[in-house]
Amino acid sequence: MAKFHIEGGHKLSGTVTPSGNKNEALPTLMACLLTDDPVTYRRMPKIGDVVTTCDVLADLGVDVTWQADDVLTLCARNAKYKKPNPDLCAKIRASILLLGPMLARFGRVELALPGGDVIGARRIDTHWEGIEALGGTLKLNQSIVGEIKTIKGTDVYLDEPSVTGTENLLLLAVKCQGTAILHNAACEPHVVGLCNLLNAMGAKISGIGSNRLVIEGVKTLKGATHTIGPDFMEVGSFLCLGSMAGGKVTIKDTRPEDMGFVLKTLARLGIVPTIDGLHMTVDGSKPLVMKKDIGGRIGTIYSGPWPAYPTDLMSVAIVAATQSLGTTIFFEKMFEGRMFFTDKLMQMGANIVLCDPHRIVVNGASKLFAARMSSPDVRAGMSLIMAALVAEGTSVIDNIYQVERGYFNIENKLKQLGAKITRED
């Protein structure tokens, strides 16, 4: 497997531009199955998960054409029903997003269980119950097998604001008979992006950006062109990295209105960027100091559904906390495996106490030392890269395909900032 060699301790400065949002790209790709017309995507990140998703769709008969490095056109005119390739589906969590559009297009689906990050149990109950509420029937054996004769317009109450659950139900409900209402829906920026694409294709979705989505069913959808929003996970990662790397890092073409709670939370670690229009600059020469709660109590950073601090940015914030003076509790409420990567930070010298699968205590600032590590998931992999960049010595990070599933061209972006990083295949 490919690996990174990273020589740490070098000051990072310069400008970086985030790629398109991975979590918006994947569900919007699946939307191509809802029309026979071409759908064109701009700012599409050519990351591992996107390439694998395109391979899955191509295996179903979808025409896949890269017009440029970040411009992609899909046309499902010749798509035929078959079971999506199980080996490809096992590589990505996003394969679960085939349930809705395949039921909408073919009235049936057989789908292998999805793969993806190793961060703990990831329920599919929200998908299941929502699809059944819309008129589908599902069975679980070695695969998920489902069919639907009529997509019913009805009220659907999600048992949790699942992002992929909401997206799957949107991809099915747009072709319902009557009106479907999703209650307790996810409202992340990438869900908004999917809604905007579907409306451009002729869907009638209102309440976009809220947790109550109203979908008036339509019989047919058309092609469209859609621009993927900037990946605020990547923006958050570079804010954390820039804050502890000694120089000034500017992140261009962000969307500050999507970053409100992220910026509020990172400020507790001492990370306060300067915002100039769509650009953010963080000064890593300033020491980081953790902010205590009123009365001097140790502060806690929680993850939660949008607009709370996103779980995907917990790992990079934890690395930043190792370089911030003070003590902070991190409480990961969503995934019981998210925190286990911290044993690698402890190996590097970080002062971290793993209280239970959901909570850790970080005491900073700690001097980090190089180590050999392996990436368990996309976000933990990026956090280990960040730790290696500020550590003393040369680190080796194995299993970097996990990082490249979610971060496009990450090696060159880091080199632009002055990082000493090489990739070994």
Q: Residues 37, 63, 87, 117: which is the catalytic one? A: 117
Helices within 46-188 (DSSP H only): 48-59, 86-89, 99-106, 125-133, 163-173
Give the integer Cα–Cα distance in Å for 193 and 190: 5
- Rounded CA-CA distance 154/224 in Å is 27
Phi, psi of 334 (to 5 degrees): -100, -40
What is the distance between the alpha carbons of residues 182 and 166, in angstroms, rounded to a whole number?
A: 8
Sequence spans of domains, the chain:
3-19+230-424, 22-227
Cα–Cα distance for residue pair 39/44, rounded to 1 Å: 12
What the block records as the tokens of 301 is 């950073």
The alpha carbon of residue 307 and the mean position of all alpha carbons in its chain are separated, in whole angstroms, by 15
The three-class DSSP label of residue 79 is: coil
pTM higher than 0.85 = yes
CATH number of the 3-19+230-424 domain? 3.65.10.10
Tens of pLDDT, residue by residue, the chain (425 residues): 789 999 999 999 999 999 999 999 999 999 999 999 999 999 999 998 999 999 999 999 999 999 999 999 999 999 999 999 999 998 888 999 999 999 999 999 999 987 644 434 457 899 999 999 999 999 988 899 999 999 999 999 999 999 999 999 999 999 999 999 999 999 999 999 999 999 999 999 999 999 999 999 999 999 999 999 999 999 999 999 999 999 999 999 999 999 999 999 999 999 999 999 999 999 999 999 999 999 999 999 999 999 999 999 999 999 999 999 999 999 998 878 889 999 999 999 999 999 999 999 999 999 999 999 998 888 899 999 999 999 999 999 999 988 988 899 999 999 999 999 999 98
* Contacts (Cβ under 8 Å, ≥6 apart) of 281: 248, 249, 250, 251, 273, 274
Active site residue 55: no
**What is the reported pLDDT for 376?**
85
Nearest to 39, CA basis, from 55, 54, 52, 56: 54
CATH of 22-227, one of 2.40.30.10, 1.10.3720.10, 3.65.10.10, 3.30.300.130: 3.65.10.10
Count Cβ atoms below 10 Å from residue 425 Cβ, excluding itself.
Answer: 5
